[in-house]
A and B are shown apart, each in its own frame.
Chain A
Amino acid sequence: MAPILEIVRLSKHFGGLKAVSDFDLTLNEGDLQGLIGPNGAGKTTVFNLVTGVYPVTAGDILFEGHSICGQEPWMINQRGIARTFQNIRLFPNLSVLDNVRVACHAHGGYSTLEAIARLGRFRSHEQAITERARSLLAVFNLLGRQNEIAKNLPYGEQRRVEIARALAANPKVLLLDEPAAGMNPSEVGSLMELIHFIRDRFKLTILLIEHQMRVVMGICEQITVMDFGQVIARGKPEEIQNNPKVIEAYLGRGVSYRTAQ
């Protein structure tokens, strides 16, 4: 069975700065993997490269066997890769419902002409979009907030809206960038359940960037560790936890030495 997402020797240079060097990662259908590393390691840059925000300097990204390098972000999204953001990027002045409905447009929309003339697919598709968006919001317990303006929502709810919005695009692969950021322990627990749930319910493959180790160790089946743009370790949670290179990357050289004693 071919992997659904294959990142091969990916590199990104910003002028002299090597943000990502020789990065590789393979996702098989249904995986739930984690990408961790200290701040500035290049994790979000990898997401940006996969989703087409930055052009790739070297290497390749294969989605369902086809290279997606050089494609526009919207094309990559329509192929089946969706994401959330490290710093929330909802459409601030639109309602929660509209935020999610926007992401329904690519797969369930209709043309501008049909919209203006209120003909053809308008009625049926508009209804379908609204129902789909509302059912997604219901999954995230946000249906009561559907008419609220996104920027007025509390932080935790905004994060959930972002995930709901990403799912509205009907993706096969979901990239979550620090979904637990700013959450309290009970919220984190629910998030972990949520991620498992959506992986099964929507048949997703999930790659998540996270700093909260409880989430990473708790739900990820495989973890890739980055530092200075490169992969420094990969394996199951137990293996990563005791890997001296990983400890060193997070806490500095002296600590791992003492641990080894």
Chain B
Amino acid sequence: MKLKLPSWGLLVILLAAGVLIQLAIQLEVINAYWALVLTYMCIAVLSSLGLGIIYGFSGQFSLGHAAFMGLGAYTAALITRYAGVAPWSFAVALVGGMLLAGGVAWLVGLPILRLRSDYLGIATLGFGIIVRVLFENSDKLIPATAGARGMTGIEQPQFVFLWAFLLLLGAVLVARNLRFSSPGRALLSIREDETAANLMGIDVVRYKTIAFVLGCSFAGLAGGLYAHTFLFLHPSNFDFIKSFDPLLIVVLGGLGSITGTIVAGTAWVAVLEGLRLVLPSNILEWRYVIYPVLLIAMMLTRPQGLFGTSEAGVLVPKEETPPAPALETEVTADGAHP
């Protein structure tokens, strides 16, 4: 898929679109329900981009992503509880959530990231469950979180959709800049062949950590937005099962493809919500029967995902694929010429 628009032009168009949508929400041209859905699309894609960096770029199989979202969510919610939801305090809350998620990721990564892929998945799964158990008992330490009863009383900041949209754009930019850079290639090489990467001078542990911390920070940011969109937090929102959602999105879109994650994430929310509309209310439960069937069908027909490893042209910097030389100056059947 080659979409050759000048990048800056596209950025301006997207910004305008975001503002327009927010305006439509303010004027209630888009009703509250759809505002929620659109905001959730941004949140889901943002979180999935984080997993895309961890798993898509550096090949680390993490099944604890929802836990980091939860850490960001509760942190941000607690901060706005005391500081309010004015733009500056909301920003502080979101950053706080990101920092906590990233910090915990760093700590957890110290012992865990040296495990082999499948084992890393299991360890992160276990970590996710431990975090959920901690959330359920969190009211013993911080009563405001209300533990297993669920945290309420979260205020919604103004223009929360626009916040989510703009932060998503920022995240896409970060992921894209990382992908097409030397540290980004270091991450990819770890995914491709960790031992060979190590032997080519890549400090594997360091880069795995960078990817993990960055990816989990995205999850923390998404969590903070989630808290202030849905205004209610329950430990079960961040259970290990919820870690499958970003995983599905990343694989369906194509592991390592930012475009794929964006498209798949948007489609995933759209399909789930769309099914809610399309199905008559008496068979609404069929939503969760159809969804896994679609999933299985997708894997059986196109296991590499929608986009495989490719990106939309608009995301790829022009220096990325240098043109092959027009003239083969060293044309011989074999070997090199000094």
Residues of A with Cβ closer than 8 Å to B?
Answer: 51-53, 72-74, 77-78, 82-83, 85, 89-95, 97-98, 101-112, 115-118, 122, 125-127, 129-130, 134, 138-141, 143-144, 146-147, 165-166, 169, 186-187, 189-191, 193-194, 197, 201
Contact = CB atoms under 8 A, between A and B. Distances in A.
Contact of B192 (A74, A91, A122, A144): A91
B177 interface: yes
A108 B200 CA distance: 13
Interface stretch (B61-69, B98-106, B180-188): B180-188
Interface string B315-326: 000010110110
B177 A116 contact: yes
Nearest to A102: B189
Given A91-B188, A143-B324, A187-B334, A83 B178 contact: no
Given A72-B198, A144-B325, A147-B321, A112 B178 contact: yes
B185 A105 contact: yes
Interface stretch (B129-137, B201-209, B227-235, B280-288): B201-209
B319 A102 contact: no
Interface of B: 174, 177-178, 181-186, 188-189, 192-193, 195-204, 210, 214, 309, 319, 321-322, 324-325, 328, 330, 332-338
28 contacts: A72-B203, A74-B203, A77-B201, A90-B193, A92-B193, A94-B192, A101-B182, A101-B185, A102-B186, A102-B188, A102-B189, A103-B201, A105-B201, A106-B201, A107-B201, A110-B181, A112-B183, A115-B182, A115-B184, A118-B177, A141-B332, A141-B337, A143-B330, A147-B324, A169-B200, A193-B335, A193-B336, A197-B336
A85 to B, nearest CB: 7
Given A73-B198, A98-B188, A115-B177, 7 more contacts: A91-B193, A103-B201, A110-B182, A125-B182, A130-B322, A165-B200, A194-B335
A194 B332 CA distance: 13
Contacts of A110: 181-183
A111 B182 CA distance: 8
Contact of B201 (A78, A139, A147): A78
Contacts of B178: 112, 115-116
Nearest to B201: A106
Contact of B197 (A83, A102, A126): A102
A139 B336 contact: yes
A102 B335 contact: no
Nearest to A134: B322
Contacts of A134: 322
Contacts of A78: 201
A101 B186 CA distance: 9
Contacts of B325: 143-144
Nearest to A168: B200
Contacts of B337: 141
A112 B217 CA distance: 15
B200 A194 contact: no
A100 B185 CA distance: 10
B200 A186 contact: no
A53 B195 contact: yes
Given A53-B195, A74-B204, A194-B336, A126 B322 contact: no
Contacts of B202: 74, 102, 105-106
B81 to A, nearest CB: 31
Contacts of B200: 74, 77, 82, 102-103, 106, 165-166, 169
B177 A117 contact: yes
A125 B319 CA distance: 13
B306 to A, nearest CB: 17
Contacts of B193: 89-92
